[in-house]
Structure 1
Amino acid sequence: MGGTGVALPPAASQAELWSGYFAAHYPGRVAPIAEKIFSNAGVRTRQAAVSPLDEDVSGWSTERRMRRYQEEAMPLGKEAVERALVASGLAATDVGLFAVCSCTGYATPGLDILLARDLGMSPRTQRLFIGHMGCYAALPGLGAISDFVTSRGRPALLLCAELTSLHIQPPAARLETQQVVSHALFGDAAVAVVVRPEQRGGYAVREIAALTDPTTADHMSWEVTDLGFRMGLSARVPQVLARHVRPMVDELLAAHDLTVADVDGWAVHPGGPRILETVERRLDLPETALATSRAVLDAHGNCSSATVLLILDALRRSPAPPRRVLALAFGPGLTLYAVLLELV
């Protein structure tokens, strides 16, 4: 990973979002429980391209939400990509593969085509769109562009652009805990990263591993409805994660004659405080190991696929960047992805 570019829409505090919108969204007996979920989400501020403080999208059709996605994602994505190219010292015409991840909006022609056009990429630039994989999508995306760079010897660029603010669901008369948790956690972001041959001053991808437990496919979902995309999130997700994360991490590291103790940087997708606590406990990590993951959750919320890239960017910009980083992300399937990176 070379240059990184981050683009964020305007921010609002969690307290402001609650008092200015969600308190009225969850009336009656639901309100105290919902407020407690908001206060315990580990989120202090979040960014929203379409803020509920300004516009109530909860009754919008999916068509209307998708049109707005294209309007908002284009400038955010362009800003992130331009910053990543500048940080890498590359021109848009240098990009051999342009990959885009998103699970919050779709259109054809999509962001990959329109941004390649607007940024002046070559007509021969290869493109890849990775859709609806959810929060872990950045890691297979990173694997795809890294493989391209290795095999073709040309730079590649990955953009993760997520606008979760477009998928606020209508108010419900009864408590729907999964929806409250979703509304309390998610934020918007666009992050782009460049991988180039003979990378210097960034992180090289050393290994990628995936594990899917199909017996728990109903534990996490992202369903397309007439009123946007609806999150399904079982309270049993941390239990499944606890069962799989340690064996998976140990196996990946052992392939490089490493152990957990050899990793000095952790980029763990903060699906919520319980997810981070589960990983920390199962891997026997010190209290400070996931400080950056918690800081990103605190400042940005869960930005779906863009989140792990925000954490990696923060680790890289730290005064003493860790030499060896393990990135972990989780999503529908139930799927776990892990990437081992090393500073070069």
Structure 2
Amino acid sequence: MSTIAGIGISLPPSVDQDDLWSGFFARHYDSRRRALAQRIFQNSGVRSRQTAVSPLVEDVSEWSTGRRMDRYRVEAMPMGKEAIDRALADAGVRADEIGLFAVCSCTGYATPGLDILLARDLGMAPTVQRLFIGHMGCYAALPAMGAVADFVATHNRPALLLCIELTSLHLQPAAARVDIQQIVSHALFADAAAAVVLTPGDDSDAYAFRQLSALTDVTAVDHMTWDITDTGFRMGLSPQVPAVLAKHVQGFASTLGATPADGWAVHPGGPKILDVIEERLELPPDALEASRSVLAAYGNCSSPTVLMVLDALRRRDQRPDRVVLMAFGPGLTLYGAVLGPNLAG
């Protein structure tokens, strides 16, 4: 049995969505696109976002990919350390007790990577096993948590997962043509780090990791892309994504044994995605309140976001007995996990 013993979140400075629009993006788009872009920003469901590299302070849109990766290391290390410190303190676990350290990120790469550098700086044992997961995007936290939970159950040792994304580093140059997908990306995405400690299950108050499921519709493989260019990583986000999710989510939820009465930690990819999930699964009006609140306050932070929603549910005075986690990303892929009561406690 593997249980969620601690969660830690680290966020860079917050910026108001309206200030981002008026202070930068209103000038980023020419007159042909400005009205459309403003509507997309206003309807994004986002009120504020966290940016390690704020366009109100410095415009990285013309930076080379190499320069962005140099900055990634500078910004990611303290964010990752803060999230991990908070998760370890929440769990009551020391860094040198961690048996497996997994890191998810699709917004920056370096070798030695964050897994090596953070393990060194935090005092993890030289024998700690490490796992780096990249290019899985917004759903990466769930398969990564599954791998970490398997390690805990097999080796009876604590393990740690860090999801960290700096999407602000991938602001794209202003295009000569209307590119709605880039406008949507610029309106939604933000930065965050979230760490989770899993331990062998003996705490009756902790959520136990129960189940992991996945479904990929390869006919929609081009609906969500993340291409490495000379000016950072470029997001492709088809407006057909909600329709693909609507096609699959009912059957997928049934594989998880999910019911409307469960707690729901759904990745808030955008307001239309949350609306589709709520409608197709016939959820109560407040079932996705945590997801919508995270989107409004923090934006879409890619892989850490579903963990931020889980943390919000976990901290409620009347938290749900069982939580269904669901996230979506390239493939087009749906990932789901179930957390339930720790029967070993």
Residues of 2 paired with 1:285 and 1:252: CA distance? 15
2:324 partner amino acid: L
Which residue pairs with 1:268 in the alignment? Answer: 266
TM-fit CA distance, 1:3: 0.7
Which residue pairs with 2:171 in the alignment? Answer: 168
* 1:212 and 2:216 matched: yes
Q: Deviations over 1:59-95 (max 9, x none)?
A: 0000000010010000000000011011111110000
TM-fit CA distance, 1:207: 0.5
2:290 partner amino acid: T
1:334 partner amino acid: L
Q: 1:145 to 1:26 in 2, by over 3 A?
A: same
Q: Deviations over 1:215-268 (max 9, x none)?
A: 110111000011000000111111110011110111221xxxxx51442x1000
Residues of 1 paired with 2:103 and 2:202: CA distance? 21
* Contact 1:202/1:316 (<8 A) preserved: no
Identity %: 63
* 1:53 and 2:56 matched: yes
Equivalent positions of 1:250-265 (< 5 A) are 250-253=254-257, 259-263=258-262, 265=263
Residues of 1 paired with 2:55 and 2:34: CA distance? 17
Equivalent positions of 1:56-205 (< 5 A) are 56-200=59-203, 201-205=205-209
Residues of 2 paired with 1:287 and 1:29: CA distance? 38
Residues of 2 paired with 1:232 and 1:29: CA distance? 21
**Partner-residue secondary structure (3-state), 1:337:** strand
TM-fit CA distance, 1:107: 0.3
Residues of 1 paired with 2:5 and 2:140: CA distance? 19
Q: What are structure 1's unaligned runs of at least 5 residues? A: 254-258
* Contact 2:201/2:208 (<8 A) preserved: no
TM-fit CA distance, 1:343: 3.6
1:136 partner amino acid: Y
* Contact 2:260/2:281 (<8 A) preserved: no
2:266 partner amino acid: V
2:63 partner amino acid: W
1:125 partner amino acid: V
After TM superposition, which residue ranges in structure 1, 4 or more long, deviate above 4 angstroms? none
TM-fit CA distance, 1:29: 1.6
* Contact 1:2/1:199 (<8 A) preserved: no
Residues of 2 paired with 1:22 and 1:295: CA distance? 24
TM-fit CA distance, 1:277: 0.4
Match of 1:223 among 221, 227, 233: 227
Match of 1:11 among 4, 9, 14: 14
